[in-house]
Structure 1
């Protein structure tokens, strides 16, 4: 009976394993998205730093008012892009956190089901061992006893 319980759980375990595998794939996807967003943010910040260094170089020789307005306008646009990229990074990090939580729940479910199946199999094995021992005991009692003398 316990063995059949383990057998009946096999499709449930298989479905849980598929769900866990899908959760792992989602987790990997979101990890990649976070890395990409971090890389874009780093690129934007490096570009802003380079652009600000241009001010130092160009400003030391004097600049026109028009150049200064263009510089400040572009720097403001760059700041906006960096802020948006930071928001994007936070959004991707939140998705990653949710995906990690989802995977942890799926993993725990699979592990719990595997332990349950193992317990059912152990119970079935113990039951079968007891039956065998009982049968052997009955057979040994039925055998004629031989006198050692």
Structure 2
């Protein structure tokens, strides 16, 4: 009966290990997406700075009203893209945090099964040692009786 219990715990531990692996992969994917989002934000920021420099250069030379409207419209779209990217990064950071917590939960579950397996094995070994000791005591007692 004890062996069956240990086998069940071992199976549960293996399943928990699979869950840990899946959670690690999901976390790695979320972290990769976050990194890509941050890189895209950096590129947008650089592009925004370059555009501002172009704007200042054109303004010094003077510009027509229609060109001014085009610059303002594009700059507004660029600002919206940066804000959107910031929102996406915040969302991705939240996903990464959630997946980190989920991974920790799965790791604790796996560790608890490992502790239960260890305890069951220790108990089984203790029972086996007691049984062996009892057999040795019986053998010694019989040996002593036959020699007398």
Displacement of 1:4: 3.0
The alignment of Structure 1 onto Structure 2 pairs a total of residues equal to: 147
Give matches, 1:53-72, under 5 Å: 53-72=53-72
Q: Per-residue displacement from partner, 1:110-129 (whole Å, max 9, x unpaired)?
A: 01101111110111011111
The secondary structure found in structure 1 opposite 2:144 is: coil
Counterpart residue number, 1:28: 28
Displacement of 1:58: 2.0
TM-score by length of 1: 0.91
Give matches, 1:103-114, under 5 Å: 103-114=103-114
- Divergent runs of 4+, >6 A: none
Q: Contact 1:2–1:123 at 8 Å: present in 2 too? A: no
CA distance, structure 2, for counterparts of residue 55 and residue 105 of structure 1: 52
TM-score by length of 2: 0.91
Give matches, 1:1-149, under 5 Å: 1-144=1-144
Displacement of 1:144: 3.1
Q: Per-residue displacement from partner, 1:73-94 (whole Å, max 9, x unpaired)?
A: 1110000011111111111111
CA distance, structure 2, for counterparts of residue 42 and residue 94 of structure 1: 19
- Unaligned stretches of 5+ in structure 1? none
Please provide the CA RMSD for this pair. Answer: 1.7
**Larger helix proportion of the pair:** 2
